[in-house]
Structure 1
Amino acid sequence: MELPRQMTKNSYQKCMEWTERNIGITAVCLMVKAITAVTAAIYMAIALWLFAQRDERIFRFLLVPAAGFVAVTILRKLIAAKRPYEIYGFTPLLQKDTRANSFPSRHVFSNMIIAAAALYVNLPLGIFTAVCGLLLAVLRVITGVHFPKDVAAGCLIAVLLGWIGFYLV
């Protein structure tokens, strides 16, 4: 059996119906907000700890994610890929009225570059944040705001930039 290369309108409708029936829109929205808030809190807590310890890693810890965020934002503007709900004409489960800028997913990129930054400083927090990022990627797809390729690209770019920024340079 060959997997489809891209989710269809029917695929999204089935995912969103399943999500609404088995998880609930409110729960999904809360999970997305919680993952985003927890990830931001972890990033800020580690940054404050590095600053308080006068740890020289703070410069890389702050610079790599910031540079990556700017680069991904510019890339999204240049590509201007439409979102699933724009192409297929449905209402996503997450409230979203943004047009284009779907590829790569900046939410997933941000979560995963923070996971890479956390891994650079604290293995357990890095692993926890990466797992949150993978869950966020799934949620962004099943709620109809991204294609799988969008979240996969966001994750891959974060992993590559994290590896380069934290370990190669």
Structure 2
Amino acid sequence: MTKEQYIKITEPLRSNQERAKRVTSLNHMLTALVFCVYPLYLFMLFTDKNPWLWRAILVPAVSFVGLSVVRKIINAPRPYEKFDMPPVLEKDTKGKSFPSRHVFSVFIIAMTIFYEHPGAGVLLGIIGLLLGIVRVLVGVHEPKDIILGALAGIVCGIVGYYVI
């Protein structure tokens, strides 16, 4: 992404504080929604004494740690760092932009739920796509961060639930 592309993507929010607040709120709401659904799903598995519970905990946990290590090694700068412009979303994290861990997390959770509830998993995947778009619009990720985060979540889900 070039500086011009970054400005073009984020300008509609920079130029309108109310719109920026709404999109920032959407970012927080989507993140909170998914991160509430997952523990509720685990609780449901626990109360049902479903043997799937341990796999539904371990695959996302191991995948999350693995992705976090890769992100730290790559340590890609965030768009607001590269272009020396503040993001729309208040954030001061340095590096660790690639791949997006927010989007990865939504997709690995979606894959976890998809295994037993395909409709709910697809719905969470759609939420993940929307969250990815929002994270680009608020200037904290580049599209490649989002795409690789989503693909990593899907691949980890396929390997963790269908291959192993």
Q: TM-score range by the shorter chain?
A: over 0.9
The reply to whether residue 102 of structure 1 matches residue 97 of structure 2 is yes
Give the drift of 1:23. 7.2
Q: Deviations over 1:91-125 (max 9, x none)?
A: 10111100010111101101111111110121222
Q: TM-score, normalised by structure 2?
A: 0.95
Question: How many equivalent residue pairs?
Answer: 163
Alpha-carbon distance in 1 for matches of 2:3, 2:24: 21
1:137-148 correspondence to structure 2 within 5 Å = 137-148=132-143
Q: Deviations over 1:52-106 (max 9, x none)?
A: 0000111111111101110011001111111111110111011110001011110
Q: Deviations over 1:18-74 (max 9, x none)?
A: 235497111111111111111011111110110000001111111111011100110
- Which of 60, 63, 71 is 1:68 aligned to? 63
Alpha-carbon distance in 2 for matches of 1:53, 1:161: 25
Give the drift of 1:12. 1.4
Alpha-carbon distance in 2 for matches of 1:35, 1:19: 18
- Which of 4, 12, 17 is 1:18 aligned to? 12
Alpha-carbon distance in 2 for matches of 1:63, 1:101: 23
Alpha-carbon distance in 1 for matches of 2:117, 2:26: 24
The reply to whether residue 54 of structure 1 matches residue 49 of structure 2 is yes
Alpha-carbon distance in 2 for matches of 1:120, 1:142: 31
Q: TM-score, normalised by structure 1?
A: 0.92
Alpha-carbon distance in 2 for matches of 1:24, 1:8: 24
Percent identical pairs in the alignment equals 39
Cross-structure match for 1:128? 123
The reply to whether residue 33 of structure 1 matches residue 28 of structure 2 is yes
Contact preservation (8 Å) 2:24, 2:138: no
Describe the SS at the equivalent of 1:24: helix
Alpha-carbon distance in 2 for matches of 1:91, 1:145: 9
Contact preservation (8 Å) 2:113, 2:120: yes
Point out where structure 2 has 5 or more consecutive residues left out of the alignment: none
